[in-house]
Amino acid sequence: MKPDRIYLRGLTVKGYHGVFDFERREGQDFVIDAELELDLGPAAASDEVTDTVHYGELAESLAAVVAGEPVNLIETLAQRLADVCLADGRVRAATVTVHKPQAPIPLQFSDVAVIIRRESDRDRRGRS
C-alpha cells in the first residue's frame, strides 16, 4: 500500500544560489515542490492540526532556506530542503524538487530542476 502524502507545489521564493557571481548578486526565483510521506491516520481521526505536518509552517521553513545562505548547486539546496522536511519525526520520506526556471542557459528551455528523495534515518532503521 502506498503511504499517505502531503504535497506542497509551486512555492516560489527569491534566492541567491548559483555558481556565477551575478546569480548570487542579483538573485532569481526558485520554485519548490515537496512531497512528504507520513501516516495521516492520526490527523484524520483527531481532526487536529497538531497531529499532522502544518503545511503553512512547512512552506515558511522551506522559504527561509531558499532565501537564506547561498549555495552553488541546486542539488545542495534540495538536500537542505529535504532535511527540513525530515526534521519532523512523523515524516518517513520526502521528495523535493528545486526548479530553476531562469537558469543561465543561452538556449530556450522551459525548466531546469533537480529531484531528490530522502528517507528518514528512523524509517531506514525500522526496516533493517
CA distance 128 to 125: 5
pLDDT in tens, 51-62: 999 999 999 999
Active-site hit among 17, 99, 100, 118: 100
* Structure letter (DSSP) for residue 101: T
Percent of the chain with pLDDT over 70: 95
Report whether 58 contacts 5 (CB < 8 A). no
- Which is nearest to 28 in space by CA: 82, 128, 104? 104
Report whether 6 contacts 36 (CB < 8 A). yes
pLDDT in tens, 81-126: 999 999 999 999 999 999 999 999 999 999 999 999 999 987 555 5
According to CATH, what is the number of the domain 5-127? 3.30.1130.10
User: Looking at the chain, which runs of residues are DSSP E strands?
Assistant: 5-15, 28-37, 93-99, 113-119
Q: Is the pLDDT of residue 128 over 50?
A: no
3-state DSSP assignment of residue 48 = coil
Whether 100 is catalytic is yes
**Per-domain residue ranges for the chain?**
5-127
